[in-house]
Structure 1
Amino acid sequence: MSSIELFAGAGGLAMGMARAGFQHSAVVEWDDDACQTIRENRTHYDSHGEDFVLFEGDARQFDLTPYAGRVEVISGGPPCQPFSLGGKHRGNLDERDMFPTAVQAVHKTMPRAFIFENVKGLLRQSFASYFEYTYLQLSHPEVVKRQGESWEEHLARLEGLHTSGKQPTYNVVFRLLNAADYGVPQKRERVFLVGFRSDLGIEWSFPEPTHSDVELLRAKWVTGEYWERHRIAKKNRPAIPERMRNRIKRLATEEREVTNRLPWMTVRDAISDLPDPEKPSLFTIPNHVFTPGARIYKGHTGSPYDEPSKTLKAGAHGVPGGENMLVRDDGSVRYFTVREAARLQTFPDEYIFHGAWGETMRQLGNAVPVKLAEVVANSVAKVLHEVN
Structure 2
Amino acid sequence: MPRVNELKYTSVEVCAGAGGQAAGLHNAGFKHAALIEIDKDACQTLRANTSSNPEWAGCKVIEADLKLFDPHSLGMAKGDLDLLAGGVPCPPFSAAGRQLGRDDERDLFPRMLELVDELQPKAVMIENVRGLLDPKFAPYRQEIRKELESLGYEECYWEVLEARKYGVPQLRPRAILVAMKPEYAAHFEHTKPEERPEVVVGEALHDSMRARYDAVDDPRAELAFKRWYEKALEGVAPTLVGGSKKHGGADLGPTRAKRAWGDLGVCGLGVANEPDDMKDPERDLFAAAGPKLTVTQAALIQGFPSEWKFSGRKTAAYRQVGNAFPPPVAQAVGEQIYAAFEAAGRG
Q: Deviations over 1:252-275 (max 9, x none)?
A: xxxxxxxxxx3x211111102223
Alpha-carbon offset, residue 171 of structure 1:
3.3
What is the TM-score with the length of structure 1 in the denominator? 0.69
Q: Deviations over 1:30-62 (max 9, x none)?
A: 000100100111159864x52222110111222
Letter in 2 for 1:50: A
Q: State the partner residue of 1:220.
A: none
Partner Cα separation in structure 1 for residue 53 and residue 131 of structure 2: 29
Output aligned runs, 1:274-285, within 5 Å.
274-275=208-209, 279=213, 281=215
Partner Cα separation in structure 1 for residue 53 and residue 94 of structure 2: 28
Q: State the partner residue of 2:162.
A: 178
With over 3 angstroms needed to count, the CA separation of the structure-2 counterparts of 1:198 and 1:304, relative to structure 1, is same
Bigger Rg over Cα:
1
With over 3 angstroms needed to count, the CA separation of the structure-2 counterparts of 1:107 and 1:315, relative to structure 1, is same
More off after superposition, 102-111 vs 356-365: 356-365
Q: State the partner residue of 1:198.
A: 182
Matched, 1:34 2:18: no
With over 3 angstroms needed to count, the CA separation of the structure-2 counterparts of 1:105 and 1:16, relative to structure 1, is same
Alpha-carbon offset, residue 333 of structure 1:
4.9
Please give the secondary structure, in 2, of the residue aligned with 1:61.
coil
Partner Cα separation in structure 1 for residue 35 and residue 335 of structure 2: 19
Partner Cα separation in structure 1 for residue 142 and residue 162 of structure 2: 22
Q: State the partner residue of 1:270.
A: 204
In 2, are the aligned partners of 1:139 and 1:172 still within 8 Å (CA)? Answer: no
Q: State the partner residue of 2:261.
A: 326
Matched, 1:358 2:292: no
Please give the secondary structure, in 1, of the residue aligned with 2:21.
helix
Alpha-carbon offset, residue 16 of structure 1:
1.0
Alpha-carbon offset, residue 326 of structure 1:
3.5
Alpha-carbon offset, residue 82 of structure 1:
1.0
Q: Which runs of 5+ in 2 are unaligned?
A: 1-8, 218-230, 267-287
With over 3 angstroms needed to count, the CA separation of the structure-2 counterparts of 1:74 and 1:201, relative to structure 1, is closer
Q: Deviations over 1:73-132 (max 9, x none)?
A: 101100111111222221111111111111111111111111111000101222221122
In 1, are the aligned partners of 2:18 and 2:42 still within 8 Å (CA)? Answer: yes
Q: State the partner residue of 2:124.
A: 114
In 2, are the aligned partners of 1:18 and 1:46 still within 8 Å (CA)? Answer: no
Output aligned runs, 1:4-153, within 5 Å.
4-42=12-50, 47=55, 49-65=56-72, 66-67=75-76, 68-141=78-151
Partner Cα separation in structure 2 for residue 208 and residue 7 of structure 1: 23
Partner Cα separation in structure 2 for residue 278 and residue 198 of structure 1: 51
Letter in 1 for 2:205: I
Q: State the partner residue of 1:375.
A: 332
Output aligned runs, 1:219-368, within 5 Å.
262=197, 264-275=198-209, 279=213, 281=215, 305-316=233-244, 317=246, 319-320=250-251, 321-322=253-254, 323=257, 326-327=261-262, 328-329=264-265, 332-368=289-325
More off after superposition, 175-184 vs 307-316: 307-316
Q: State the partner residue of 1:386.
A: 343
Length, aligned pairs only: 291
- The share of aligned pairs that are identical, in percent, is 32
Alpha-carbon offset, residue 304 of structure 1:
5.8
Partner Cα separation in structure 1 for residue 316 and residue 330 of structure 2: 22
Q: State the partner residue of 1:257.
A: none
More off after superposition, 37-46 vs 52-61: 37-46
With over 3 angstroms needed to count, the CA separation of the structure-2 counterparts of 1:336 and 1:195, relative to structure 1, is same
Please give the secondary structure, in 1, of the residue aligned with 2:199.
coil
Please give the secondary structure, in 2, of the residue aligned with 1:326.
helix
Q: Deviations over 1:300-349 (max 9, x none)?
A: xxx96521111111124364424378325498255421111100111111
In 2, are the aligned partners of 1:29 and 1:55 still within 8 Å (CA)? Answer: yes
RMSD: 2.6
Partner Cα separation in structure 1 for residue 293 and residue 67 of structure 2: 34
Partner Cα separation in structure 1 for residue 54 and residue 86 of structure 2: 17
In 2, are the aligned partners of 1:18 and 1:45 still within 8 Å (CA)? Answer: no
What is the TM-score with the length of structure 2 in the denominator? 0.77
